[in-house]
Amino acid sequence: MKTLIKSILKISIVAMAVSQLVGCVYLNSVSITSIPKDRTHKVMAEANKFMFMGFNFNNDYINNIPADLARQCPGGKVQGVLTKDENVDYFLYFFWTKKITAEGYCVKGS
């Protein structure tokens, strides 16, 4: 009986530790622009920053998102842009990542 309780306890501790390492995701905001008829060519840009205890002294890491999207669509126009702003918490907000994702459709000749 004692060994069974010990094993359950061990499994619980390991499960809790693993659940902390997996990382919880929090969605801060979502936005979308008008979606085009031609949705064959999808493009995506992402910017993220790993932080320790929230120490962050600038948000310049997101500045290249529009240019990254444009690079994937030369001569066209990126439309239907879905922007997601997320926090990924790895351990009690000691370690976390701020992640911005923008994805849309490249429409040629528009």
Instruction: Indicate the residue among 19 and 33 with the shorter CB distance to another protein.
Output: 33
Which residues form the interface with another protein (CB under 8 A)? 28-29, 31, 33-34, 54-59, 62-63, 65-67, 69-71, 73-79, 81, 83, 85, 98, 100, 102, 104, 106
Least distance CB 3 / another protein (angstroms): 48
Instruction: Indicate the residue among 20 and 59 with the shorter CB distance to another protein.
Output: 59
Least distance CB 90 / another protein (angstroms): 18
Angle at 22 between CA 19 and CA 24, to 5 degrees: 90
* Tokens encoding 107: 């429409």
- Tell me the helix, strand and coil percentages in the chain, rounded to 5: 30, 45, 25
Least distance CB 69 / another protein (angstroms): 5
Tally DSSP H helices, then E strands, for the chain.
Answer: 2, 4
Instruction: Indicate the residue among 5 and 67 with the shorter CB distance to another protein.
Output: 67
CA–CA distances in Å: residue 31 to residues 34, 37, 99: 10, 19, 14
